[in-house]
């Protein structure tokens, strides 16, 4: 099987390349080595036999050339994180949505009919919440005044009572609450349109909070695990926003890579014009504060500082139910939180 991995030099993409190569696939990588993800501009070490193309998914000529003789595309290339402010919106839309549109158009021209798309849990917005009186409810957008008062938990939109967070599955409504989230959902819609027009097959993987080896150093576009790890490397205490009680599902990057390999295999037997969405998470929620504490303890650095700061585009709780991936892909996260964090604490970040 011949697989093109876009963004295959990046944090997640490079692990996907390794997993696919180990499964026997012939792998080609296209990556623009953007400074936001590759400050040094260096190509990382890739497994023997992997063909690297320095190109941008927004370039139709480079993409069509990279697609030659490819059976499956594993689309990892994207801008990630919340960015710094709304001025980042054109860059996010360009990298994520224009890049995906250019890729899908080229796949249509070349007849490449199978796709694995890296999406994100951010498309859900807030996760699943239950009110004791009104059942399942969707919280309203976050109130800046309440956040400034230190009131971080979303109340029931009908009665104002406290809510109980739960696991969100793929049937949940989508409700993107920041620019990055909007671009990831647009990628999903573009892929569904491609599937309908061409009869192609798409597996959409909604990653939860991925961490592990080769995370980039501290940048405005890094994930929270990278920000905490970068602080510890500088000898500083990790700065935890809000009260640290935000619930997330931290999933190790090697588990995410294995999910991609399983999804590639799934596309082989799926009926034409199939689009299927899969959560990729551990299924075991942890708070941001717990993760910061575990990382600091494993690294032997300063204890985290809870700041009370907030970002309006964040959500309070979102954690995964990944039962569908287990049932249909035969995939399940295998690396426990404690072991994964201990490993991550000892590894250098990518420069």
Residues 6+ apart with CB under 8 A from 149: none
Q: Are the C-beta atoms of residues 320 and 283 closer than 8 Å to each other?
A: yes
Residue 180 appears among annotated catalytic residues: yes
Q: Are the C-beta atoms of residues 176 and 184 closer than 8 Å to each other?
A: yes
DSSP, res 134: T
Q: Phi/psi at 349 (nearest 5 deg)?
A: -85, 155
Q: How far is it, in rounded angstroms, from Cα 102 to Cα 195?
A: 15
DSSP, res 23: T
Q: Which residues pair with 202 in a beta bridge?
A: 115, 275
Angle, to 10 degrees, between the axis of helix 224-233 and the axis of helix 337-346?
40
Q: How far is it, in rounded angstroms, from Cα 106 to Cα 71?
A: 13
Q: Are the C-beta atoms of residues 205 and 260 closer than 8 Å to each other?
A: yes
End-to-end CA distance of the chain: 32
Give the CB-side neighbour count of residue 290, counting CA atoms within 13 A.
12
Query: ∠ CA(21), CA(24), CA(27), 5° rounding?
Result: 45
Closest among 73, 57, 28, 10 to 253, alpha carbons compared = 10
| Residue 184 in tokens | 């990831």
DSSP H or E stretch at residue 52: strand 51-54
Selected catalytic residue, list 124, 180, 207, 211: 180
Positions marked catalytic = 180
């Amino acid at each position: 099987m011949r697989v093109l991995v876009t963004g295959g030099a990046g944090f997640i993409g490079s692990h996907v390349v390794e997993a696919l190569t180990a499964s026997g696939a012939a792998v080609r990588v296209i990556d623009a080595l953007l400074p936001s993800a590759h400050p040094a501009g260096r190509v990382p070490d890739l497994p023997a036999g992997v063909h690297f193309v320095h190109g941008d998914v927004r370039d139709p000529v480079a993409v069509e050339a990279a697609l030659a003789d490819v059976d499956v595309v594993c689309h990892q290339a994207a801008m990630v994180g919340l960015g710094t402010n709304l001025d980042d919106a054109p860059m996010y839309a360009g990298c994520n949505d224009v890049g995906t549109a250019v890729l899908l158009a080229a796949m249509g021209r070349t007849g490449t009919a199978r796709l694995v798309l890296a999406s994100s849990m951010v498309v859900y917005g807030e996760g699943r919440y239950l009110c004791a009186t009104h059942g399942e409810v969707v919280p309203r957008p976050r109130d800046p005044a309440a956040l400034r008062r230190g009131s971080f938990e979303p109340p029931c939109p009908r009665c104002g009572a406290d809510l109980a967070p739960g696991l969100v599955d793929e049937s949940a409504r989508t409700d993107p609450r920041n620019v990055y989230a909007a671009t990831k959902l647009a990628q999903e819609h573009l892929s569904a349109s491609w599937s309908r027009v061409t009869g192609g097959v798409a597996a959409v993987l909604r990653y939860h909070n991925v961490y592990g080896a080769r995370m980039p150093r501290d940048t405005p576009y890094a994930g929270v695990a990278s920000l905490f790890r970068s602080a510890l490397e500088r000898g500083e205490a990790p700065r935890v926003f809000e009260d640290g009680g935000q619930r997330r599902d931290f999933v190790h990057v090697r588990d995410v890579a294995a999910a991609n390999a399983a999804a590639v295999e799934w596309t082989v037997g799926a009926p034409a014009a199939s689009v299927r969405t899969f959560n990729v998470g551990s299924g075991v929620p942890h708070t941001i504060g717990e993760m910061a504490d575990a990382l600091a303890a494993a690294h032997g650095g300063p204890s985290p500082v809870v700041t009370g700061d907030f970002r309006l585009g964040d959500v309070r709780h979102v954690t995964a139910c990944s039962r569908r991936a287990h049932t249909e892909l035969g995939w399940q996260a295998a690396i426990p939180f404690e072991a994964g964090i201990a490993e991550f604490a000892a590894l250098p970040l990518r420069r």
